[in-house]
């Protein structure tokens, strides 16, 4: 009992894998293995920031992060040349890539360009059309409500000027206008995507509003953003029944908006969000829903809204 015990004052670790093994912790080991996989696919210039800002990558697929690194490494200031970010297809990205990876891309570009991307803003840095210049398609559902059957209007203008009619239908994607029925006193705004800041306009507070978007985690996130501004907004065709009925038309969603449901979804929408996270085919794009189903849902909503006014 009186003999001394030799206690090491430090560990001499020669490489990170030895540190991971010495910790003998499952979570640390898993995170280390994931970082190792990420580093193998990304340019070394990004290794430090990926390790330091792990929250930006922990909920993204490795290939999605690798794609973001490739874009950030190859894109140059001004490359958008006035186009919206969603149209930069020359980098092998889909139309929602910049929207769902905005924070990650800003961080990577800041690493490469010494903080310039955040200082200027992503759109200004790349010379892309800003959200305020996002032109939306306004489509009359009753003839004569607008000077023309369809108009192009900026989102910023919709905030300051009201549209005619008694009801408003907001639609995520523009290429759904051919599915819309005639509805007395109604106007539709199509192609809003993530540009829904204008929905906080005062003139919308007392107007019946419906939102119809893709059934995927991104569509439900946009719905939540709209409901943040307009608590009374009603979702159309964004329910479990519609998804299950059209499951044969669903496809995989590469990267979910978040692993946690957005704050402003109601209970059925939250359950649907969780269902989509678990599904191998968690995206049903709205334009693939049968036209008669779409038209009936819109007519039912308009009839109910008119009866409540």
Burial of residue 152 (number of CB atoms within 10 Å: 0-12, 13-18, 19+)? exposed
pLDDT at 132 over 60: no
Q: Give the pLDDT confidence score for residue 130 in this predicted structure.
A: 67
- The residue range of the domain holding 136 is 131-308
Q: What is the percentage of the chain residues whose pLDDT exceeds 90?
A: 55
- Whole-angstrom distance, CA of residue 25 vs CA of residue 176: 51
Is residue 5 a part of any domain in this protein?
Answer: no
- Whether the model clears a pTM of 0.75, i.e. scores above it, the answer is no
Which of 53-62, 256-265, 280-289 ranks highest by mean pLDDT? Answer: 280-289
Which residue among 63, 98, 126 closes a domain? 126
- Whole-angstrom distance, CA of residue 15 vs CA of residue 77: 37
Average pLDDT over residues 192-212: 91
pLDDT at 131 over 60: no
How many other β-carbons are positioned within 10 Å of the β-carbon of residue 85? 20
Which residue among 105, 126, 147 closes a domain? 126
Q: Which residue has the higher pLDDT, 50 or 169?
A: 169
Q: What is the percentage of the chain residues whose pLDDT exceeds 70?
A: 97
173 and 223 inside one domain = yes
Which residue among 126, 141, 173 closes a domain? 126
Distance in angstroms between the alpha carbons of the first and the last residue of the chain: 88
Average pLDDT over residues 288-299: 96
Phi and psi, residue 136, nearest 5°:
-100, 155
- Whole-angstrom distance, CA of residue 126 vs CA of residue 151: 28
Is residue 4 a part of any domain in this protein?
Answer: no
Q: Give the pLDDT confidence score for residue 10 in this predicted structure.
A: 82
- Whole-angstrom distance, CA of residue 268 vs CA of residue 272: 6
Is residue 280 a part of any domain in this protein?
Answer: yes
For the stretch 34-66, pLDDT in tens is: 888 888 888 999 999 888 888 888 878 889 999
Q: Give the pLDDT confidence score for residue 133 in this predicted structure.
A: 61
Q: Give the pLDDT confidence score for residue 235 in this predicted structure.
A: 98
136 and 228 inside one domain = yes
């Amino acid at each position: 009992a009186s003999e001394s015990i030799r206690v090491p004052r430090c560990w001499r670790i020669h490489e990170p894998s030895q540190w991971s093994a010495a910790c003998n912790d499952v979570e640390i080991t898993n995170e280390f293995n994931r970082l190792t996989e990420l580093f193998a696919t990304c340019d070394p210039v990004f290794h430090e920031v990926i390790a330091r800002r792990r929250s930006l990558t922990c909920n993204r697929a490795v290939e999605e992060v690798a794609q973001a690194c490739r874009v950030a490494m190859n894109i140059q200031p001004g490359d958008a040349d006035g186009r919206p970010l969603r149209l930069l297809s020359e980098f092998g990205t889909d139309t929602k890539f910049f929207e769902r990876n905005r924070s990650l891309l800003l961080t990577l570009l800041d690493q490469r360009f010494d903080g310039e991307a955040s200082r200027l803003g992503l759109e200004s840095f790349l010379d892309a059309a800003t959200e305020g210049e996002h032109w939306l398609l306004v489509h009359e559902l009753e003839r004569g409500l607008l000077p023309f059957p369809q108009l192009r209007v900026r989102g910023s203008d919709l905030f300051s000027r009201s549209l005619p009619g008694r009801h408003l239908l907001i639609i995520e994607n523009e290429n759904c206008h051919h599915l819309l029925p005639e509805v007395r006193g109604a106007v539709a705004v199509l192609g809003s995507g993530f540009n829904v800041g204008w929905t906080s306009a005062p003139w919308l507070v007392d107007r019946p509003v419906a939102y119809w978007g893709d059934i995927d985690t991104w569509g439900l996130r946009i719905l939540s953003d709209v409901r943040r501004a307009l608590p009374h907004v009603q979702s159309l065709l964004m329910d479990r029944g519609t998804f299950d009925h059209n499951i044969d038309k669903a496809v995989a969603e590469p990267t979910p908006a978040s692993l946690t449901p957005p704050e402003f979804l109601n209970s059925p929408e939250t359950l649907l969000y969780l269902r989509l996270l678990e599904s191998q085919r968690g995206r049903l794009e709205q334009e693939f829903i049968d036209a008669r189903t779409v038209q009936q849902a819109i007519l039912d909503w308009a009839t109910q809204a008119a009866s409540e006014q």
